[in-house]
Amino acid sequence: MLGRAPGVRTILPAGDLGWGKPDMRARAQPRGLYGEGVPNDLVIVANRLPVDRVELDDGEPGWRRSPGGLVTAIEPVMRANQGVWIGWPGGTEKGLEPFEDDGMSLVPMSMSDEEISGHYEGFSNGTLWPLYHDLVAKPEFHREWWDAYVGVNKRFAERAAELASEGATVWVHDYQMQLVPQMLRELRPDLRVGFYLHIPFPPAELFQQLPWRRQILEGLLGADLVGFQLPGAAQNFVRLVRQRVGHKTHRDLVYLPDGRTVRAKAFPISIDAAGFEALAQTPEVADRAAEIRAALGSPRKVFLGIDRLDYTKGIVARLRAFSELIRDGHLDVEDAVFVQVAVPSREQVEQYRILRDDIDRLVGRINGDLGRIGRPAISYLHSSYPREEMAALYRMADIMVVTPYRDGMNLVAKEYVACRFEDDGALVLSEFAGAAEELRQAWLVNPYDINGMKAALLEAFRAEDRDLTKRMKAMRKTIRQHDVAAWADSFMTDLGDIRSSHGKPVRPARRS
Ligand code: GDG
């Protein structure tokens, strides 16, 4: 029989994913209600809160909604459960009190400069991010970064242990928090702990480079359920646990010497498909889409890329492919334009600054070589936008181009599909994005193969309406059936279904 995590509602309201409001939020009121005696049946632990600490227009400190896939996906679950969310709001301000923002109970965790550079910029984004994304960049291994990672994970685990009510469910998120499940279990064995990894989990051949591989695996094994985007990632994890920690495993289960069972399973994340579709259909979004197209000079077709500015996303490769199509005479700037939105991200990390400069230079060169007056080949925007503007861009674009070298899922691809309520538009999608496992009717490309990408871009450009409709209809059906509510529901249901003890004899753990 399928169970549910006790006291946790899994049915989510359709609608707002949180980008619908203007960027600047009203100052939130501190609540100061947490701690002993206040029941929190669901605790979300993530590196970031869904809001950033910023200076408001009047110079006073306030909160602004922060971008990114994790926030977009978790926020509806939080709202449905009235749980509490523990995370870092950005910056180094100390002594921030728990508060309520837009109906969510948020507990800010402060970070020192040393913790930001060691835990966040260092171990999370300089070691784990490139390692888990197939070494697209070279990971750096530094012992001080690891120490900071352990320290921050410990503080988050202790805070969660303080806040969770007896027998509560704690849902820990992503690569920055992989030690929290085990630390939490030691502090509070009564809790039910789920972990979800939003990025890929690498094959053993890459993971075993990590000097702290065993600690990370043991950290994750503190959870009852470890969720991944794709089945391959769950298999990588189980194989590594067997090889490196020496626990007995069977299919998606790990049997621990203490009698616990841990399940490792894929839960492909999704979006609020109905909410995006409804937004795309509003007259305001329609007007704005028409306005953007007119501002671009009403070209026959518009290509679109929207990404966090990240080296995993394959922005350079796709712009190069597009520009070569113009240079080769297959496309003309009177007919086609590429709109590339690069959302600022991790700007303190050296590799991200270098990438930004590379893209600036490339766009300048392409436009200098191939553009005409009033007709740039690439319209490049380095900025973030409200959700309505994103929907207008999705609605306006004929060909969405999503070409990461490796991506856990890629919500942008799914959002585009959700917004195409007239069953038109083309999606060119990297086969290395998790989304490619579901969106089979996209033009699937290998982002390392520039000629292959050029061919796919051109095919999508020239595709007949009938073909576009057939493909888009099928993809929209998939997205409607597997939305973020279904994702959260299946994770919570499986978490509730975990038996606390397997009762099997197990071999003692081997050292790696
Ligand atoms: C990680 C994994 C996985 C972005 N800029 C703006 C904005 N966004 C929203 C998009 C989308 C989300 O952020 C980005 O999600 P992605 O999935 O595309 O990429 P990551 O940020 O790398 O997310 C990824 C995801 O976690 C979830 O598990 O899919 O593989 O890497 O929802 O719409 N939204 C608004 N303005 C922006 O400027 N309003």
**Residue 94 near residue 87, CB atoms below 8 Å:** no
pLDDT, residue 227, reads 98
> By the 8 A CB rule, do 215 and 181 touch?
no
Percentage, residues of the chain above pLDDT 90: 76
Distance CA 509, CA 245 (A): 6
Common-topology check for domains 25-110+154-269+487-497 and 273-481: yes
Band (pLDDT 50/70/90 cuts) for residue 74 is confident
- Helix-strand-coil percent breakdown of the chain, rounded to 5? 45, 20, 40
Give tens-digit pLDDT for 450-503. 999 999 999 999 999 999 999 999 999 999 999 988 898 899 899 988 866 555
pLDDT given at position 485: 84
How much is the mean pLDDT over the chain?
A: 88
Residue 511: predicted pLDDT: 39
User: What is the C-alpha to C-alpha distance for residues 430 and 447, in angstroms, rounded to an integer?
Assistant: 6
List the chain domain ranges: 25-110+154-269+487-497, 273-481
| CA 423 to centroid of ligand 1, rounded, Å | 23
Mean pLDDT over 109-132 rounds to 97
In degrees, rounded to 5, the angle at the alpha carbon of residue 446 between the alpha carbons of residues 441 and 448 is 160
Instruction: Evaluate whether 368 touches 377 at the Cβ level (below 8 Å).
Output: no
Structure confidence at residue 392 as a pLDDT band (50, 70, 90): very high
Measured distance CA(470)–CA(325) in Å, rounded:
26
Nearest CA to ligand 1 atom 10: 412
pLDDT at 54: 81
Pair type for strands 426-430 and 399-402: parallel
Q: Is the pLDDT of residue 507 over 60?
A: no
Report yes or no: 119 and 152 within 8 Å, Cβ to Cβ: yes
What's the pLDDT tens digit per position in 422-452? 999 999 999 999 999 999 999 999 999 999 9
Q: Which long-range contacts (CB under 8 A, 24 or more apart) does 476-481 make?
A: 476/417, 476/418, 476/420, 476/423, 478/438, 478/439, 479/270, 479/271, 479/273, 479/414, 479/417, 479/418, 479/438, 480/273, 480/274
Residue 19: predicted pLDDT: 26
- Provide the token pair at 341: 């939105």
pTM of the complete model:
0.90
Contact 321, 450 (CB under 8 A): yes
Specify the residue with its C-alpha closest to ligand 1, atom 33.
412
Helices then strands, counting H and E runs in the chain, come out as: 17, 19
Residue 512: the pLDDT is: 42
Half-sphere CA count of 464, side-chain side, radius 13 A: 2
Q: Which two tokens stand for residue 56?
A: 């408001």
pLDDT for position 418: 98
Whether the CA torsion 142, 128, 74, 150 is positive or negative: it is negative
Distance 69 CA to ligand 1 centre (A): 3
pLDDT tens figures, 46-73:
999 988 888 888 888 888 877 555 666 6
Please name the amino acid found at residue 376: P
Residue 179: pLDDT band with limits 50, 70, 90 = very high
Name the pLDDT band for 162 (thresholds 50, 70, 90). Answer: very high
Architecture of the 25-110+154-269+487-497 domain: 3-Layer(aba) Sandwich (3.40)
Whole-angstrom distance, CA of residue 222 vs CA of residue 241: 13
pLDDT of residue 3: 39
Give tens-digit pLDDT for 324-346.
Answer: 999 999 999 999 999 999 999 88
Going from the Cα of 415 to the center of ligand 1, the distance in angstroms, rounded, reads 10
- Phi and psi, residue 64, nearest 5°: -130, 140
Q: State residue 15's pLDDT score.
A: 25
pLDDT at 102: 76
How far from each other are the two terminal CA atoms of the chain, in whole angstroms? 37
d(CA 245, CA 222): 13
Identify any residues that bridge with 87 across adjacent strands, giving them in sequence order.
108
Does 273-481 carry CATH code 3.40.50.2000?
Answer: yes
pLDDT for residue 391 is more than 60: yes
**pLDDT tens per residue across span 269-327:** 999 899 999 999 999 999 999 999 999 999 999 999 999 999 999 999 999 999 999 99
Task: Output the ligand 1 site: residues, CB below 6 A.
Answer: 19, 67-70, 72-73, 198-199, 269, 308, 343, 384-387, 390, 407-412, 415
Q: Which two tokens stand for residue 168?
A: 């509560």
Tell me which residue has its CA closest to atom 23 in ligand 1.
69
Q: In the predicted model, what is the mean pLDDT of residues 242-249?
A: 96
For residue 164, the CA-to-ligand 1 centroid distance in Å is 28
Residue 424 is predicted with a pLDDT of 98
Ligand 1 pocket test, pick from 23, 72, 311 with the greatest ligand atom count within 8 Å of Cβ, gives 72
Residue 261: phi, psi to the nearest 5?
-115, 135
Q: Reduced to 3 states, what is the DSSP secondary structure of residue 462?
A: helix
Whole-number Å distance, alpha carbon 410 to ligand 1 midpoint, is: 7
Strand-by-strand arrangement of the 336-343 sheet: 378-382, 336-343, 301-308, 399-402, 426-430, 443-445
The pLDDT value given to residue 389: 96
- Checking if the pLDDT of 16 tops 90, the result is no
According to DSSP H, which parts of 126-272 are helical? 129-132, 143-163, 180-187, 204-207, 213-220, 231-240
Q: Report the alpha-carbon distance of residue 370 to residue 329 in Å, rounded.
A: 11
| Alpha carbon distance 369, 119 (integer Å) | 42
pLDDT band of 10, cuts 50, 70, 90: very low
The ligand 1 atom nearest the CA atom of 73: 27
Q: What does the block give as tokens for 400? A: 């969405």
Q: Look at residues 209, 258, 111 and name the one whose alpha carbon lies nearest to residue 512.
A: 209
Please say whether the beta carbons of 26 and 62 come within 8 A: yes
In whole angstroms, give the CA distance from residue 150 to residue 147. 5
Please give the pLDDT value at position 58.
85
- Per-residue pLDDT of 201-235, as tens digits, reads 999 999 999 999 999 999 999 999 999 999 999 99
**Residue where the block lists tokens 């399940």:** 263
What b/e readout covers 240-270, taking b as 16+ CB neighbours within 10 angstroms? bbbbbbbbbbeebbbbbeeebbbbbbbbbbb
pLDDT of residue 186: 97
For residue 489, the model assigns a pLDDT of 85
Å from CA of 433 to ligand 1 middle: 13
Say how many C-beta atoms besides its own lie within 10 A of residue 6's C-beta. Answer: 11
- DSSP string covering 81-146: HT-EEEEE-SS----PPPEEETTEEEEE----HHHIIIIIIIIIIIIIHHHHTTTSS-----HHHH
Q: How far is the CA of 131 from the centre of ligand 1 (A)?
A: 20
Interval between CA 348 and ligand 1 midpoint (Å): 19
**Ligand 1 atom having least distance to the Cα of 68:** 13
Nearest atom of ligand 1 to the alpha carbon of 404: 30
